[in-house]
Amino acid sequence: MSIGQEMYDLCVKMFPYCRSITGNGVRKTLGTLKEVYDNIKIYEVPSGTQVFDWTVPKEWNIRDAWIKNSAGEKIIDFNNTNLHVMGYSLPLDREVSLDELKKMIYTQPDQPDVIPYVTSYYKERSGFCMTETQKQSLPDDTYHVYIDSELKDGSLTYGEIIIPGDSEEEILLSTYVCHPSMANNELSGPSVTIHLAKWLSSLKKRRYTYRIVFIPETIGSITYLSRNLDIMKKNTIAGFNISCVGDDRTFSYISSRYGTTLADRVAKNVLDFYYPDYKKYTFLNRGSDERQYNAPGVDLPVCAICRSKYGEYPEYHTSKDNLELISPSGLDGAYQVYQQCIQVLEANYHYQIQCLCEPQLGKRGLYPTISQKGSYDEIRAMTNFIAYADGSNDLIDISNIIGEPAVSLLPIIDKLQNNDLLKAV
Amino acid sequence: MSIGQEMYDLCVKMFPYCRSITGNGVRKTLGTLKEVYDNIKIYEVPSGTQVFDWTVPKEWNIRDAWIKNSAGEKIIDFNNTNLHVMGYSLPLDREVSLDELKKMIYTQPDQPDVIPYVTSYYKERSGFCMTETQKQSLPDDTYHVYIDSELKDGSLTYGEIIIPGDSEEEILLSTYVCHPSMANNELSGPSVTIHLAKWLSSLKKRRYTYRIVFIPETIGSITYLSRNLDIMKKNTIAGFNISCVGDDRTFSYISSRYGTTLADRVAKNVLDFYYPDYKKYTFLNRGSDERQYNAPGVDLPVCAICRSKYGEYPEYHTSKDNLELISPSGLDGAYQVYQQCIQVLEANYHYQIQCLCEPQLGKRGLYPTISQKGSYDEIRAMTNFIAYADGSNDLIDISNIIGEPAVSLLPIIDKLQNNDLLKAV
Amino acid sequence: MSIGQEMYDLCVKMFPYCRSITGNGVRKTLGTLKEVYDNIKIYEVPSGTQVFDWTVPKEWNIRDAWIKNSAGEKIIDFNNTNLHVMGYSLPLDREVSLDELKKMIYTQPDQPDVIPYVTSYYKERSGFCMTETQKQSLPDDTYHVYIDSELKDGSLTYGEIIIPGDSEEEILLSTYVCHPSMANNELSGPSVTIHLAKWLSSLKKRRYTYRIVFIPETIGSITYLSRNLDIMKKNTIAGFNISCVGDDRTFSYISSRYGTTLADRVAKNVLDFYYPDYKKYTFLNRGSDERQYNAPGVDLPVCAICRSKYGEYPEYHTSKDNLELISPSGLDGAYQVYQQCIQVLEANYHYQIQCLCEPQLGKRGLYPTISQKGSYDEIRAMTNFIAYADGSNDLIDISNIIGEPAVSLLPIIDKLQNNDLLKAV
Confidence at C323, pLDDT banded by 50, 70, 90: very high
Phi, psi of B243 (to 5 degrees): -155, 145
Distance from C-alpha of B316 to C-alpha of A182, rounded to nearest angstrom: 67
Q: Say if CB B182 and CB B127 are below 8 A apart.
A: no
What pLDDT score does B254 carry? 98
Q: Average pLDDT, whole number, for chain C?
A: 96
Query: Which of B352, B369, B370 is closest, CB to CB, to A296?
Result: B352
Secondary structure in 3-state letters for chain C: CCHHHHHHHHHHHHCCCCCCCCCHHHHHHHHHHHHHCCCCEEEEEECCCEECCEECCCEEEEEEEEEECCCCCEEEECCCCHHHECECECCEEEEEEHHHHHHCEECCCCCCCCCECCECCCCCECCEECCHHHHHCCCCCEEEEEEEEEEECCEEEEEEEEECCCCCCEEEEEEECCCCCCHHHHHHHHHHHHHHHHHHHHCCCCCCEEEEEEECCCHHHHHHHHHHHHHHHHHEEEEEECCCCCCCCCCEEECCCCCCCHHHHHHHHHHHHHCCCCEEECHHHCCCCHHHHCCCCCCCCEEEEECCCCCCCCCCCECCCCCCCCCHHHHHHHHHHHHHHHHHHHCCCEEEECCCCCCCCHHHCCCCCCECCCCCHHHHHHHHHHHHCEEEEEHHHHHHHHCCCHHHHHHHHHHHHHCCCEEEC
Residues of B in contact with A120 (CB under 8 A): 369-371
DSSP-derived secondary structure for B234-300: HHEEEEEE--S---SS--EEE--SSS-SHHHHHHHHHHHHH-TTPEEE-GGG--STHHHHTSTTT--
Nearest to C233 by CA among C295, C292, C300: C300
The one-letter code for the residue type at A28 is K
Q: Say if CB A330 and CB A246 are below 8 A apart.
A: yes
8-state DSSP, B89: B
Strands C279-281 and C252-254: parallel
Q: Say if CB B370 and CB B325 are below 8 A apart.
A: no
pTM for this model (two decimals): 0.94
How crowded is residue A98: how many other Cβ atoms within 10 Å of its Cβ? Answer: 13
Chains that touch C (3 or more CB pairs under 8 A): A, B
**Residue range B97-120, pLDDT digits in tens:** 999 999 999 999 999 999 999 999
What pLDDT score does B377 carry? 67
What pLDDT score does C299 carry? 98
Asked if pLDDT for residue C370 goes beyond 90, the answer is no
Q: Average pLDDT, whole number, for chain A?
A: 96
Return the biggest CA–CA distance within chain B: 92
**Residue range C63-93, pLDDT digits in tens:** 999 999 999 999 999 999 999 999 999 999 9
Q: Which helix (H) or strand (E) holds A214?
A: strand A209-215
Whether C46 contacts chain B with CB within 8 A: no
**Residue range A269-322, pLDDT digits in tens:** 999 999 999 999 999 999 999 999 999 999 999 999 999 999 999 999 999 999
DSSP-based three-state secondary structure for A328: helix
Nearest CA in chain B to C376: B287
Distance from C-alpha of C411 to C-alpha of C418, rounded to nearest angstrom: 10
The one-letter code for the residue type at A114 is V
Task: Kindly determine whether residue A317 and residue B372, on different chains, have CB atoms separated by under 8 Å.
Answer: yes
Planar angle of CA A241, B399, B168, nearest 5 degrees? 130
Nearest CA in chain C to A401: C284
Query: Which of B355, B373, B387 is closest, CB to CB, to A316?
Result: B373
Query: Which of A53, A108, A123 is closest, CB to CB, to B357?
Result: A53
Task: Check residue B18 and give left, alpha or beta (phi > 0: left; psi -120 to 50: alpha).
Answer: beta
Strands B142-152 and B59-68: antiparallel
| Strand locations in A70-141 (E) | 74-77, 92-97, 105-106, 128-129
Asked if pLDDT for residue C330 goes beyond 80, the answer is yes
Asked if pLDDT for residue C406 goes beyond 80, the answer is yes
Chains that touch B (3 or more CB pairs under 8 A): A, C
Asked if pLDDT for residue A26 goes beyond 70, the answer is yes
Distance from C-alpha of A306 to C-alpha of A189, rounded to nearest angstrom: 9
Asked if pLDDT for residue C244 goes beyond 80, the answer is yes
Asked if pLDDT for residue A234 goes beyond 70, the answer is yes
Phi, psi of B424 (to 5 degrees): -85, 130
**Residue range C260-270, pLDDT digits in tens:** 999 999 999 99
Whether C107 contacts chain A with CB within 8 A: no
CA distances from A69 to A74, A138, A238, C233 (A): 7, 9, 54, 90
Query: Which of B357, B360, B362 is closest, CB to CB, to A225?
Result: B357
What pLDDT score does B111 carry? 97
Asked if pLDDT for residue C16 goes beyond 90, the answer is yes
What pLDDT score does C14 carry? 98
Query: Which of A357, A391, A403 is closest, CB to CB, to C225?
Result: A357
- Looking at the complex, report in whole angstroms how far the Cα of residue C213 sits from the nearest Cα belonging to chain A: 17
Task: Kindly determine whether residue B372 and residue A117, on different chains, have CB atoms separated by under 8 Å.
Answer: yes
Q: Where are the alpha helices (DSSP H) in A236-327?
A: 262-274, 290-293
Of the listed ranges A117-121, B140-144, B275-279, C373-377, the least confidently predicted one is C373-377
Confidence at A377, pLDDT banded by 50, 70, 90: low
How crowded is residue B12: how many other Cβ atoms within 10 Å of its Cβ? Answer: 13
What pLDDT score does A264 carry? 98
- Looking at the complex, report in whole angstroms how far the Cα of residue C221 sits from the nearest Cα belonging to chain A: 9
What pLDDT score does A243 carry? 97
8-state DSSP, B75: E
What pLDDT score does C369 carry? 77
**Residue range C181-203, pLDDT digits in tens:** 999 999 999 999 999 999 999 99
Chains that touch A (3 or more CB pairs under 8 A): B, C
Residues of C in contact with A363 (CB under 8 A): 122
What pLDDT score does A367 carry? 85
**Residue range A70-88, pLDDT digits in tens:** 999 999 999 999 999 999 9
Whether A362 contacts chain C with CB within 8 A: yes
**Residue range B280-300, pLDDT digits in tens:** 999 999 999 999 999 999 999
Nearest to B154 by CA among B25, B31, B17: B25
What pLDDT score does C367 carry? 85
- Looking at the complex, report in whole angstroms how far the Cα of residue B314 sits from the nearest Cα belonging to chain C: 10
Return residues 269-298 of C near A (CB < 8 Å).
283-284, 286, 291-292, 294-298
Asked if pLDDT for residue C250 goes beyond 70, the answer is yes
Asked if pLDDT for residue B373 goes beyond 80, the answer is no
**Residue range C134-171, pLDDT digits in tens:** 999 999 999 999 999 999 999 999 999 999 999 999 99
Note the ipTM here: 0.94
Cα-based torsion angle of the residue sequence A81, A85, A90, A91 in order, rounded to the nearest 10 degrees: -50
- Looking at the complex, report in whole angstroms how far the Cα of residue C423 sits from the nearest Cα belonging to chain B: 13
What pLDDT score does C378 carry? 67
Domains and CATH numbers, chain C: 3-57+155-346 (3.40.630.10), 61-152 (3.50.30.90), 350-424 (1.10.10.10)
What pLDDT score does C383 carry? 96
Q: Average pLDDT, whole number, for chain B?
A: 96
Size of chain B in residues: 425
Confidence at A3, pLDDT banded by 50, 70, 90: very high
Asked if pLDDT for residue C375 goes beyond 70, the answer is no
What pLDDT score does A378 carry? 66
| Average pLDDT value for residue range C209-218 | 98
Distance from C-alpha of B18 to C-alpha of B149, rounded to nearest angstrom: 12
